[in-house]
């Protein structure tokens, strides 16, 4: 009779499987998570630029994380933007609650600091609160020309290249925007592309790729004869940081088990801080330059 032999299981393996079994069972425990919404925040976001146009300040009440409704616009605010020499009073749009706009003839000037003031009764207690922010308007870079080439990094992509000059007066952070037939291509937070001043140490911009356009995606396909406009805005370091933080919140943590995210920084402050009213958002001033060309594919 043949007797089957067996190998004795090591003690360490037995301990491992026992611990693993306990951990699996523990995963079935009920965990109650408090999903009650926190108190709504006052959100103020807007800008003034060097363009002659209506400049916007949006004032809203934040909604809950699980809410599917659009944030509520705050009416009847007194909103002004001023420098030492001038003051612009913004009017509330009759079409959209909480949207405040300058006259269409208003434009900002590079090298000046702009101050935003918002007076509003956010908590509806009959007493108004005042909020303020300031932003310097940097001198913009200048775009001289635009060109295109197949990407050397990604298949089926086109690179948009720019040539130009950096200003000598400011350390700029550069925000890039692209328009196809007068419609903006990167109109979302996810599409914002900002280069910091450490990347642009030279005074000349020589063939810098500012966009990668997927030629298999309808939104970014270029056709022969399309009018393409590239724009560079000179923005402050504070605004670049704000956009970077907001994008981090949008994309989530990387790596996945990194520390919890912090609140996106704001430059909006209250003249009479209240623990009952928290404020978010940002006010900035920026200037830009743009260049147009017509796209013709290279053969």
* Contact call for residues 128 and 189 (beta carbons, < 8 A): no
Going by pLDDT thresholds of 50, 70 and 90, the confidence category of residue 105 is very high
CA-CA distance, 210 to 179, in Å (whole number)? 13
Residue 94 CB coordination number (10 Å): 7
Confidence at residue 44, expressed as pLDDT on a 0 to 100 scale: 96
What pLDDT is recorded for position 187? 66
pLDDT of residue 148: 94
pLDDT at residue 5 in the model: 42
- pLDDT at position 261 is 44
Report residue 24's pLDDT band, with 50, 70 and 90 as the boundaries.
very low
Q: Does 246 reside within a domain?
A: no
161 with 114, same domain: the answer is: no
Residue 10 domain-assigned? no
Q: Are residues 114 and 169 in the same domain?
A: no
DSSP state letter for 34: -
Q: Are residues 105 and 120 in the same domain?
A: yes
Residue 194 and residue 156 share a domain: yes
Q: At 270, is the secondary structure helix, strand, or coil?
A: strand
pLDDT in tens, 183-211: 988 765 656 667 776 665 567 888 888 88
Would the pLDDT of 255 be above 70?
no
Residue range 109-167, pLDDT digits in tens: 999 999 999 999 998 888 899 999 999 999 888 899 999 999 988 889 999 999 998 88
The answer on pLDDT for 169 being more than 80 is no
The Cα 94–Cα 79 span in angstroms is 15
Q: What is the pLDDT of residues 268-279, one digit of tens each?
A: 999 887 767 889
212-251 pLDDT per residue, tens: 899 998 888 999 999 999 998 889 989 988 888 887 766 5
> Do 65 and 111 fall within a single domain?
yes
For residues 157 and 227, membership in a common domain is answered with yes
Angle at 100 between CA 97 and CA 102, to 5 degrees: 150
Let me know if residue 256 belongs to a domain: no
Do 50 and 132 share a domain, yes or no?
yes
Determine, yes or no, domain membership for 255. Answer: no
Residue 8: per-residue pLDDT: 46
Domain count of the fold of the chain: 2
> What CATH number corresponds to the domain at position 270?
2.60.40
Q: Check if the beta carbon of residue 291 is closer than 8 Å to that of residue 229.
A: yes
Q: What is the mean pLDDT of residues 80-109?
A: 96
Comparing CA positions, the residue from 61, 70, 119 lying closest to residue 90 is 119
What's this model's pTM, rounded to 2 decimal places?
0.77
Q: For position 71, what pLDDT does the model report?
A: 82
Q: Does the pLDDT at position 13 exceed 80?
A: no
Q: What pLDDT score was predicted for residue 152?
A: 84
What pLDDT is recorded for position 274?
73
Whether 129 and 153 map to the same domain: the answer is: no
DSSP strand pairing (279-294 vs 157-165): unpaired
Stretch 89-115: mean pLDDT:
96
My answer on whether 228 and 149 are in the same domain is yes
Domain containing residue 89: 42-137+266-287
Q: Return the pLDDT at 22.
A: 44
The pLDDT tens digits for 29-69 are 555 555 455 678 899 999 999 999 999 999 999 876 556 67
Residues 126 and 169 in one domain: no
Q: What is the pLDDT of residue 54?
A: 95
Asked whether residue 280 is assigned to any structural domain, the reply reads: yes
């Amino acid at each position: 009779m043949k007797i089957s032999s067996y190998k004795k299981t090591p003690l360490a393996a037995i301990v491992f499987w026992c611990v693993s079994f306990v951990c699996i069972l523990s995963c079935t425990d009920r965990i109650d998570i408090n999903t009650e919404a926190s108190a709504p925040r006052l959100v103020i976001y807007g800008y003034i630029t060097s363009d002659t146009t209506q400049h916007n300040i949006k004032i809203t009440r934040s909604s809950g994380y699980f809410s599917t409704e659009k944030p509520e616009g705050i009416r009847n605010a007194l909103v002004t933007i001023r420098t030492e020499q001038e003051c612009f009073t913004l009017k509330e749009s009759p079409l959209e609650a909480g949207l405040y706009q300058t006259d269409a003839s208003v434009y900002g000037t590079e090298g000046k600091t702009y101050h935003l003031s918002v007076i509003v009764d956010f908590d509806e207690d009959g007493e108004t609160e005042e909020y303020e922010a300031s932003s310097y308007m940097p001198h913009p870079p200048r775009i001289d020309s635009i060109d295109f080439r197949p990407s050397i990094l990604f298949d089926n992509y086109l690179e948009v290249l720019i040539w130009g000059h950096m200003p000598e007066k400011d350390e700029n952070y550069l925000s890039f925007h692209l328009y196809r037939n007068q419609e903006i291509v990167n109109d979302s937070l996810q599409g914002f592309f900002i280069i910091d001043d450490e990347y642009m140490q030279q005074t000349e911009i020589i063939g810098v790729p500012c966009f990668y356009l997927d030629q298999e995606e309808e939104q970014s396909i270029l056709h022969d004869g399309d009018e393409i406009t590239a724009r560079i805005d000179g923005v402050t370091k504070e605004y670049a940081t704000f956009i970077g933080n907001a994008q981090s919140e949008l994309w989530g943590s990387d790596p996945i088990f990194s520390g919890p995210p912090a609140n996106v920084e704001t430059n909006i402050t209250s003249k009479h801080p209240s623990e009952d009213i928290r404020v978010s958002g940002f006010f900035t001033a920026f200037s830009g330059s743009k260049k147009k060309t017509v796209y013709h594919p290279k053969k």
